[in-house]
């Protein structure tokens, strides 16, 4: 049981660790200290739903509907391009008084953006429904599969809450408009690179 749980934890953590659109957004919100709990909960809960679905074997959906990943890729890429452009525009304007004061968009706007970055990203489905689902096949009993899933879900909660609340350690560095401009330019580049990878 413990071995299965640790395998699930390590597998999910290694997949989430790569800097992506979702992680960059959580980091940015963590720096403003705005809606951090709700945001981290949304991201981790979304991962939990997908991880459980993957372990239960719903990865077969993409085999039944082979055109689905491509449709999701184009939708996700379009969103990433738009969001990256918004971050670059924000960097160009350089108006960061709200961010420096620790304020951001409203709760529902924040959660809406996070939901889009999560559910419109085909890689999330490949990682959870595909890879995690495939790795879970080695555990043949229901109890071992459950332990694996619990470990994977736990790693998601640890990662997102660690990133969201750990970001405040960088807060002293982010007390100037220039620092926020650099961060937004980097986030824009990450979004565009991810969008290019999705459609290439």
What is the per-residue pLDDT for 68?
A: 65
Using one digit for the tens of pLDDT, what is the confidence trace for 136-165? 777 778 888 899 999 999 999 998 999 899
pTM reported for the whole predicted model: 0.72
**Contact indicator for 147, 12 with CB cutoff of 8 Å:** no
Of residues 132 and 35, the one with the higher pLDDT is: 35
Model confidence at 72, pLDDT cuts 50, 70, 90, reads low
Q: Which residues of 182-192 are buried (b: 16+ CB within 10 A; e: fewer)?
A: ebbbebbebbb
Least confident of 83-87, 99-103, 110-114, 193-197: 99-103
Residues 10, 43, 81: CA angle, nearest 5 degrees:
105
Residues 63, 58, 125: CA angle, nearest 5 degrees:
80
């Amino acid at each position: 049981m413990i071995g299965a749980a640790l395998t699930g934890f390590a597998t999910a953590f290694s997949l989430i660790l790569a800097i992506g659109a979702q992680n960059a957004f959580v980091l940015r919100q963590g720096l403003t200290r705005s809606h951090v709990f709700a945001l981290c909960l949304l991201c981790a809960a979304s991962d939990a739903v997908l991880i459980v679905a993957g372990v239960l074997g719903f990865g077969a959906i993409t085999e039944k509907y082979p055109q689905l990943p491509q449709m999701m890729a184009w939708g996700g890429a379009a969103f990433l391009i738009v969001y990256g452009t918004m971050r670059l525009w924000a960097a160009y304007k350089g108006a960061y008084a709200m961010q420096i004061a620790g304020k951001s968009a409203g709760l529902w706007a924040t959660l809406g953006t996070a939901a889009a970055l999560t559910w419109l990203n085909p890689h999330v489905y490949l990682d959870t429904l595909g890879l995690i689902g495939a790795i879970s096949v080695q555990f043949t009993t229901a109890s071992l599969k459950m332990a694996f899933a619990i470990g994977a879900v736990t790693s998601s909660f640890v990662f997102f809450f660690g990133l969201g609340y750990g970001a405040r350690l960088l807060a002293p560095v982010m007390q100037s408009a220039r620092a926020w401009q650099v961060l937004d330019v980097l986030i824009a580049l990450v979004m565009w690179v991810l969008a290019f990878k999705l459609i290439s």
